[in-house]
Structure 1
Amino acid sequence: MQEPRRARELGIVVGKMPTGPVNAITDVPGVRVGHTTLIDGDDIRTGVTAIVPDQLTERRALPAGLDVGNGHGKLVGSTQVIELGEIETPVVLTATLSTFRAADALVSYMLQQPGREAVQSLNPLVAETNDGFLSDIRARPVRAEHVFGALTGARGGLPAEGAVGAGTGTAALGFKAGVGTSSRTAATARGSVTLGVLVQANFSGVLQVSGVPIPAGKVGVPAVAHQPEHPGNSCVIVVATDARLDARQLGRVARRAVFAMGRVGSDFAGGSGDYALAFSTAPVDTPAAEEGDLEPVFAAVLEAVEEALLNSLFMARTTVGFQGHVKYEVPHDRMLDLLRAHCVELHH
């Protein structure tokens, strides 16, 4: 069995911009990630992932923007983000039919936090993708303690990727996928800023790596395994940055995060819920960036999302789940051979 390896460990470098220290969303100061992975018997392959900005312990809300590439999904709290341009809670990712229990648990968690004893209104942010091919989604196994575990267990450093947390039962582009992350640093007129992303990848299309199509059948994945169970399935992208951007500018960043799905081969199916949420951790006591200074930030999000999506695939292992369904990992060696055949430069 092959060992999971990130894109850069395989010699695949996306773009030219530098990454943060661990090439993850946690490179943005104050942002932590936690997972709860649920594997039970033959049929449960699901979980919870939490993105926790520490700045919310001192501030009621952070500026945020949302882009809905295709709205066939359940993103609890989305309308208030659109209306007010802010987030009030960490972001929780899980499976479709567990979204609502996760939202209730997130409210309970937030109401217990110091300084929120008098809170009477709260907008929890919970997003999902449908992992029903590999997990018994109707069982709705996610409970409050699983959400609490992801939130309280959130840490800095490089988060686990692949078939973990909310990515335990997901698949994308004909292969097993999951959670992936990446970051970039960008030089702006106000100095260097960091932008990090985390994705929950679960969407259809044909994988592209460095512009080269990688059909599942062409790299030896059994034909029965790469037949699409149904189109779409969704992708959630969470973008964090320490750049001083307002809600409207963060919406522009989020839009480009959805665009980046096309770089890895998304077919943007009508049955897919494709969402990107971007938030800023920067203090709001200075003016937002000038519009002309957004270009390096736009470039950063395109590169980081592309690499995070590749990491979500390359770090995932073959998974057998509900009713014996199977999703195969991307065969690294065969993929690299195909890239070499197309004269793609690999960096080792």
Structure 2
Amino acid sequence: MGIRDLGVRIGYGTPGPFNSITDVQGVRVGHRTLVENRGEVSIRTGVTIIEPRPGVARFEPCFAGTHVLNGNGDATGLEWIRESGLLTTPIAYTNTHSVGVVRDALVAAERSSVGDSQYWCMPVVLETFDGVLNDIWGQHVTAAHVHEAMAQATSGPVPEGSVGGGTGMICHEFKGGIGTASRKLTPDEGGWTVGALVQANYGRREALRVAGYPVGDVLRDVPSPFSRRLAGVPGMGSIVVTLATDAPLLPHQCDQVARRASIGLARVGGGTEYASGDIFVAFSVGNRGIPPADYSLAREPIMHVRSIAQDFISSIFVAAAEAVEEAILNALVAADDTEGQGVHVHALGADRLLDALAEVGWRPGRRPLTHYSTN
């Protein structure tokens, strides 16, 4: 279930057929979810893989860009994207203490695909903190789990909520996790698709807004997981976002698209907490034949690429912001009540959300409030 299944419209654009990042041709997503109890130890974690193209990414990289709204988090591979403008590996989401093992597993997978050579790879691994619900110090994600997520990567509908890297995540003091959404531009706008996939683990309850409506104001009575001593503080966590498009973008344009994830995050009520790492990646599959980032494989000194004229990129920005906004809300709607490490985290839930929306003035079929309203 997603936010649209409740009759709530987010923005004004039209989703793709799956309302998912996999609406961008060639993009695939796989999860490996870990839920286990070992005595007093709770394992609530996992890994999510985003493949930009089928096959080995290094043989046909994508132009890519990044943006960091707040750096209270970590990621691997972003300096290489900033330097080269290229995405040459899958993107992985996991928990804070499993970044290393996931990165190493992606390196091993690359080697098994291409064999030994002088080529190196710098995988992109993004993290958010799941230590409220998960025994994060136990580092329970293994290389085998990464390989299983890669093996399960597929196009089509993407499971959302408490799955993969999002299994133990908390968003606006409700159960968070993985969410995805897409926008299909009109033919006059180019007809391209923009998709987002988020791992949402941030935010204060009172800041939550849905379609512009301040539902967080009327949901304060739902018990917060952070009321338990040593469980943490409201607003802590992080959010990581991947944006994909088939529009032909150059690296600096991917940077521009990545920055628009901040707008989608702000519309839901995030982006203002120092204790949150907000890290975004955007890539384009709209150019084919980009030379591999390996001198030994380069064949020609000049490459021929296409790009959107800058005066026509605004529709991509709008689509990116709306897709991120809806993906976060889909993560909230799809998640389930979760208990771990002695902490219970309530799901937002369809009924609770619809009641809250009605209380603040929303009605079925009503247009979203302006995103600039603060009332």
How high is the TM-score relative to the length of structure 1? 0.93
Q: Tell me, in whole angstroms, the C-alpha distance in 1 between the residues paired with 2:65 and 2:188.
A: 22
Report deviation, 1:288: 1.0
Matching residue of 1:260: 264
Report deviation, 1:117: 4.1
* Contact kept in structure 1, 2:337 and 2:344, CA below 8 Å: yes
1:132 aligns with 2:150: no
Amino acid at match of 2:142: R
Unaligned runs of 5+ in 2: 289-303, 367-375
Report deviation, 1:108: 0.5
Amino acid at match of 1:253: V
Matching residue of 2:105: 105
Change (3 A) 1:81 1:222: same
Matching residue of 1:303: 322
Change (3 A) 1:190 1:208: closer
Give runs of aligned pairs for residues 159-170 of structure 1, distance below 5 A.
Answer: 159-170=158-169
Report deviation, 1:266: 1.0
Q: Tell me, in whole angstroms, the C-alpha distance in 2 between the residues paired with 1:224 and 1:161.
A: 21
Report deviation, 1:224: 6.0
Matching residue of 2:291: none
Matching residue of 1:290: 309
Q: Tell me, in whole angstroms, the C-alpha distance in 1 between the residues paired with 2:53 and 2:25.
A: 9
Q: Tell me, in whole angstroms, the C-alpha distance in 2 between the residues paired with 1:195 and 1:239.
A: 7
Amino acid at match of 1:299: V
Query: 3-state DSSP class of the match of 1:17?
Result: coil
* Contact kept in structure 2, 1:174 and 1:215, CA below 8 Å: no
Change (3 A) 1:72 1:214: same
* Contact kept in structure 2, 1:162 and 1:314, CA below 8 Å: yes
Give runs of aligned pairs for residues 107-122 of structure 1, distance below 5 A.
Answer: 107-113=107-113, 115=114, 117-122=116-121
Aligned identity (percent) is: 38
Stretch of structure 1 that moved more, 282-291 or 86-95: 282-291
Report deviation, 1:34: 0.2
Matching residue of 2:254: 250
Matching residue of 2:149: 150
Q: Tell me, in whole angstroms, the C-alpha distance in 2 between the residues paired with 1:267 and 1:290.
A: 30
Give runs of aligned pairs for residues 195-274 of structure 1, distance below 5 A.
Answer: 195-205=194-204, 206-215=207-216, 218=219, 220-222=221-223, 229-230=232-233, 231-274=235-278
Change (3 A) 1:70 1:225: closer
Matching residue of 1:343: 361
Deviation per residue, 1:14-70 (Å, 9 max, x gap): 111111111000000100000000111051100000001225537342100000001
Q: Tell me, in whole angstroms, the C-alpha distance in 2 between the residues paired with 1:72 and 1:107.
A: 25
Change (3 A) 1:226 1:306: farther
Q: Tell me, in whole angstroms, the C-alpha distance in 2 between the residues paired with 1:133 and 1:32.
A: 29
Q: How many residues align?
A: 342
Q: Tell me, in whole angstroms, the C-alpha distance in 2 between the residues paired with 1:27 and 1:344.
A: 29
Q: Tell me, in whole angstroms, the C-alpha distance in 2 between the residues paired with 1:153 and 1:189.
A: 36
Query: 3-state DSSP class of the match of 1:330?
Result: coil
1:318 aligns with 2:314: no
Q: Tell me, in whole angstroms, the C-alpha distance in 2 between the residues paired with 1:56 and 1:279.
A: 16
Query: 3-state DSSP class of the match of 1:202?
Result: strand
Q: Tell me, in whole angstroms, the C-alpha distance in 2 between the residues paired with 1:86 and 1:191.
A: 23
How high is the TM-score relative to the length of structure 2? 0.86
